[in-house]
Amino acid sequence: MLLQEMRTDVLRYAQRMYKAGLTVGVSGNVSAIDRDSNTIAITPSGMDYDELTPEDITLIDMEGQVVDGTRRPSSEKMLHIKIYQSRPDVNAVFHTHSTYATALAAMGEPIPVILAEVAAIAGGPIPVAPYARFGTPEFGDVAVAAMGDKPAALLQNHGVVCAGKDLQKAFLIAVDTEEAAKIYLFSLMAGKRAIRLNDEEIPVLHEIYATRYGQNPLKP
């Protein structure tokens, strides 16, 4: 099986996404890219996450054509392709339908920087991409434009897209985005305006996260 390890990893993280409640039913999709061959491993369209095997993860090229596999790739394949084409720093993409972030997407409401974690992972508010019909190239275009160099964007009336240098990083961004959306919505329900971090603090926290958090090497 071509790119067996990458397909197995995509399956494992897709199942983690489902078990973490970041999507429901058969919605959502996950992919990773092998930059040496520009081959993308992506979850199949409309299949139960609990029943997937590595062989069900489809390999496609940067035009969306199947390279290996017997399953039809995710209907959102162009979203993933557009991100990989425009973001050489990205090697994994999660498209989720997590409850709280999707609620904000339905409201057209960005996630403001009310938490240090949002500043750290995104370096600013998590934006909302304008509505476009899912499964179309335009859907990928608006997502890419909204994301810019950020790791996540809400997709108006639809869901969330998160990207990272690998599957683990992209998954954690999806988790953090949902948690930030949840806290922001709770603050709105409490009837009080959450305190935003000041503009000077945001880039400092983003730099710390990028260079000093976890097992990243310390800057001299």
194 with 179: CB under 8 angstroms?
Answer: no
103 with 188: CB under 8 angstroms?
Answer: no
Helices (H), the chain: 4-19, 77-86, 99-107, 116-122, 137-147, 167-189, 201-211
Q: Please name which of 23, 9, 94 lies closest in space to residue 52, comparing C-alpha atoms.
A: 9
**Whole-angstrom Cα distance, residue 48 to residue 99?**
19
* Active-site annotation, residues: 76
Question: How big is the CA angle at 152 (ends 81 and 174), to the nearest 5 degrees?
Answer: 100
Q: Phi and psi for 191 in degrees, rounded to 5?
A: 80, 15
Cβ atoms within 10 Å of 214's Cβ, excluding its own: 7
- Residues sharing a CB contact under 8 Å with residue 47, sequence separation 6 or more, in sequence order: 26, 56, 71
- Residues sharing a CB contact under 8 Å with residue 207, sequence separation 6 or more, in sequence order: none
Q: Please name which of 22, 50, 42, 23 lies closest in space to residue 173, comparing C-alpha atoms.
A: 22
